Structure 1
Amino acid sequence: MNNFYFTTFKELLTIDHFAKSWENIFPYQGEEFDEEAVFVVSDGDVDFPEHLRLDIDLGWKSNDQNWIKQFPGLQTQKSDELIEGIIIFGNLAVKGSILNEEGDYGAFLYVSGQVTCQSFVAGGSTIYIKGNIATEEVFISHYNHGYFKCDATVTSPVLIINDHYTYLNNYKADLFYYNDKTGEYPSENACYEDEETGEDWLCSPNLTKLLDNPTLTFEELIFDLNEGEYVFKKSTQLLTKDEGYWLSKAVKYWGNLKRIPHAIKTEHFFYKVCEKYGAFCFSYFPDTFLTRSLCKQEIQKKGTNLQYIPEHLITRELCHLAAEHETNISFIPTTYLDKSLIKEIIHYNDSEMDNVPEQFITEELLVDYVKLGRGLWLDKYCEIANVSKITVLLKALDSGIEYIEQIWGFHFRQEVYYYAKKLYDNKHHESVWNNYLAKFQKKIDRLS
């Protein structure tokens, strides 16, 4: 029976063979531990009954009962010290997978013997396995913040090293091998950059044909593995891939929207997904599911949702509704863009002026722009419109004394002050005028 206990890093270093192992990887992996850092240790072989998750945001506190109960022999502590890792002096047999989806961090894992598991995902953790590793399906190391070392042989049907500090003494991969750190892999297994997004690296067809789910990227493969799933098409332990399965996937991560099989994309399924993502999910489903009332409903939630509505379903009325709910000019089809829409949009966000087509930048628009607030880059826009900046400011003042606040605040100059004085220094505006004089007295004094 497994028997675990807590110990400190200082105590671990008194164990000769561990200390030598630590010296073997310390100069390369960049991890440092305080002497009093706490670890979980097992002296002897371990049979782990479920998935071993190394992501430290899933517990890893000495007072976390749900996390502690995975390790027979451990007692919940009063303190909430972070457990830095697991040390196994023996073999590790995991019924599920060893999972470190997080690429930036993870718990330290050291095994002096051999490891067997369903699949192995290595990310931000520091992992050192002295003996052989054998997986049923996939070994993948990903992202560049972690460190993985195996002194013996990694045997895995699929073996992927993607932008990760992974050092293998030997490996066996019968079905698929890819290693972008060395470049030593079959050319037909090459993965490549997505020309459309320029971001994701698409899996080789040699890999995707092995997998049961539509899987274009390593990110998608890691997501499925982190769910604890078997992923090979030939596996006898695949989950039922029904509506409930895909709905769960879609709700957990928006990136799975593009993976949903066509047969699952029913109108009922669409409305279920829409409850989670709203208009964001529209482009992943047939346009026939989109009604005018649904589009209007999503625009009323947020004007920028206009970007997700197919252009042939956009109307002038919908554009004005989006403007009232703070959309962006770039989301308005040029067919419907006019000065009233532009005024409405910049009324809520004056920085949208930078996206106004030049033919719409007129003296009238610039007067409204100045009245709205800061009027940044007014000189540039006046030059585009071939109008005088001072004319724009004076016409804005003509609109009412309430605009003095914005104009004096951001465009104070002699002509502007004296023109406002001419308009509003009178009995009718006496109280408001005097308030402005008091507020801007320092600027006024500098004129003289």
Structure 2
Amino acid sequence: MNKLGFELITIKEVKIEYPFLVEREGFDYFEEWEDQDFFLVANGNVNFEGNFYLDLYEDKEKKWLTNILNLSLKEIDTRRIEGILINGDFSINGTIINAEGDYGPYIYINGDVACQSMLLGGSYVEIKGNVKAKEVVMTSYNHGNFKCEGLIEAPVFIVEDHYTIFAERKNDLFYYNDKTDDFDAKNECEYDEVSGEDIISAELRKHLDNPLIETFEELKRELEFGELILKQNNPPAKNYEYWHKRVLLNYRDLKLVPKEFKTEELCNLALNSSYHALPFIDENLITVEFCDKLVGKDGFAIQVIPDEFITKELCFKAAESGTMLRLIPEEYYSEELILLVFKKGKHQPDINDVPSEFITESLLEEYVKIGKGLWLDKACKENEMDKLSILKKVVDSGIEYLDTVLGNHFSKEIVDYAFSIYGSKNKEEWNKYVQKHNVKFERLGLKY
């Protein structure tokens, strides 16, 4: 037991001491708990200072839990915690955070909850009483469940693709629920074709302290940090050091940085993490040299380079650095560029990315030599080319290509042809390939 009243007890003990839990739907929902696993239990009301983290499987939260339970990290790691039970009211001056959308422990609170905000994701959460939040109650992603038998009172209440059930609600500023569609039409999101994002309603954005927040994902990240987000609550001002830390943790947060703090240093910090930060960079920082350096570091960065900076030379640099053909504008395609992408790529060459006007026998020959030629059949049929003729030319190019031909395009016809070329004059090498692919030879009853 600790000063907050929490203790770890086994599930076997939970079943004995709190038998009402066993009948709850969320209790051992997937029927995979063991009696020797644990619950974090507080048998009575809890008053808590700071944020309360529900993602007890994660490393950061385990470190947080060491302070709650006065246990070492090693001791925490040896205990599998499947749930949290608060057998009473739960009052907290921070945010209740279940940031992980895919999973989380089972949570049962046998009373009322009062908090700054509450963010729920993949956990199965049941609250017997009412929930009163100073700012936001948000549930997100369809792997989670939330059942509140009482009133949810919060200025902002958002249900985003989540199984959320409640008896009543009171939300003065904003309500959105895409599972029930029982909200005001003006609160609906708008799809942005340029970014491919659902942009949150202007009705919600007008209440946010940071006007740069545009999506629910961005809003969730604020809640994950336990931030005050509503104008009406006068959130504390944030300085450069704060934003430096945020961007260091997640390059996407560069988008949320106010103009006065978005320095070249901060932009470079984000780009060092990922080229995907480029759309959040101020336009005056993007130069030819800047793009050249970015693509030279990672060819996949070509996909975020503004059109006005893309040149033939930059496309070749992207190919040299390793990229995918589909990321390069088609106007710059040539057989030379296509083959360079195939040779330098980090994955198997995909002939399906090549427009039909660039499909030639010479291109397909090189395609087979470079990789496995996985889609050679398809390419030949669609472009009315003879596959066997192409494979024969590959064989003619050198005995070293027999491995890829026999390994990926084995047939009696191509084996006969290869034998006619190398069976006598390179008998020793030929026999090595026969031995390596012996199973295929035996399957067709071929003997050489």
Deviation at 1:420, TM superposition (A): 4.0
Structure 1 residues 340 and 59: CA distance shift in structure 2, 3 A: closer
Matches of 1:88 and 1:437 in 2, distance apart? 69
CA contact (8 A) 2:200 2:216 kept: yes
Deviation at 1:317, TM superposition (A): 2.5
Matches of 2:437 and 2:71 in 1, distance apart? 73
CA contact (8 A) 1:68 1:76 kept: no
Partner of 1:356: 354
Normalised by the size of structure 1, how large is the TM-score? 0.84
Matches of 1:20 and 1:438 in 2, distance apart? 68
Q: Give runs of aligned pairs for residues 296-307 of structure 1, distance below 5 A.
A: 296-307=292-303
Instruction: State the SS of the aligned residue for 1:55.
Output: coil
Q: Give runs of aligned pairs for residues 81-230 of structure 1, distance below 5 A.
A: 81-195=79-193, 200-213=197-210, 214-230=212-228
Partner of 1:252: 249
Deviation at 1:434, TM superposition (A): 4.6
* Per-residue CA distance 1:329-385 (angstroms, 9 max, x = gap): 223333332121122222345532221121121122222223334333334433455
Instruction: State the SS of the aligned residue for 1:103.
Output: coil
**Percent of residue pairs identical:** 36
Deviation at 1:281, TM superposition (A): 2.0
Matches of 1:73 and 1:293 in 2, distance apart? 53
- Is residue 308 from structure 1 mapped to residue 315 from structure 2 by the alignment? no
Structure 1 residues 409 and 183: CA distance shift in structure 2, 3 A: closer
Structure 1 residues 177 and 416: CA distance shift in structure 2, 3 A: closer
Structure 1 residues 414 and 165: CA distance shift in structure 2, 3 A: closer
Deviation at 1:81, TM superposition (A): 1.4
Unmatched tracts of structure 2, length 5 or more: none
* Per-residue CA distance 1:107-156 (angstroms, 9 max, x = gap): 33333333221111222223333333221111122223333233332221
- Is residue 26 from structure 1 mapped to residue 25 from structure 2 by the alignment? yes
- Is residue 5 from structure 1 mapped to residue 7 from structure 2 by the alignment? yes
- Is residue 41 from structure 1 mapped to residue 41 from structure 2 by the alignment? yes
CA contact (8 A) 1:65 1:76 kept: no
Deviation at 1:53, TM superposition (A): 0.7
* Per-residue CA distance 1:168-212 (angstroms, 9 max, x = gap): 2222212222233333333322335555566x5432211111111
CA contact (8 A) 1:60 1:83 kept: no
Instruction: State the SS of the aligned residue for 1:299.
Output: helix
CA contact (8 A) 2:295 2:317 kept: yes
Deviation at 1:54, TM superposition (A): 0.6
CA contact (8 A) 2:302 2:327 kept: yes
Partner of 1:341: 337
- Is residue 327 from structure 1 mapped to residue 329 from structure 2 by the alignment? no
Matches of 1:43 and 1:73 in 2, distance apart? 19
Structure 1 residues 423 and 261: CA distance shift in structure 2, 3 A: same
Matches of 2:249 and 2:421 in 1, distance apart? 61
Deviation at 1:286, TM superposition (A): 3.7
Higher mean Cα deviation, 283-292 or 76-85?
76-85
Matches of 1:360 and 1:252 in 2, distance apart? 43
Partner of 2:51: 51
Instruction: State the SS of the aligned residue for 2:108.
Output: strand
Aligned residue identity for 1:282: L
Higher mean Cα deviation, 282-291 or 268-277?
282-291
Instruction: State the SS of the aligned residue for 1:110.
Output: strand
Aligned residue identity for 1:26: E
Aligned residue identity for 1:272: L
Structure 1 residues 45 and 74: CA distance shift in structure 2, 3 A: farther
Matches of 2:12 and 2:253 in 1, distance apart? 44
* Per-residue CA distance 1:390-423 (angstroms, 9 max, x = gap): 3323333332232233334444455544544554
Deviation at 1:76, TM superposition (A): 9.1
Instruction: State the SS of the aligned residue for 1:275.
Output: helix
User: Highest CA radius of gyration, 1 or 2?
Assistant: 1
Matches of 1:245 and 1:75 in 2, distance apart? 28
Matches of 2:73 and 2:422 in 1, distance apart? 78
Matches of 1:242 and 1:259 in 2, distance apart? 13
Structure 1 residues 312 and 46: CA distance shift in structure 2, 3 A: same
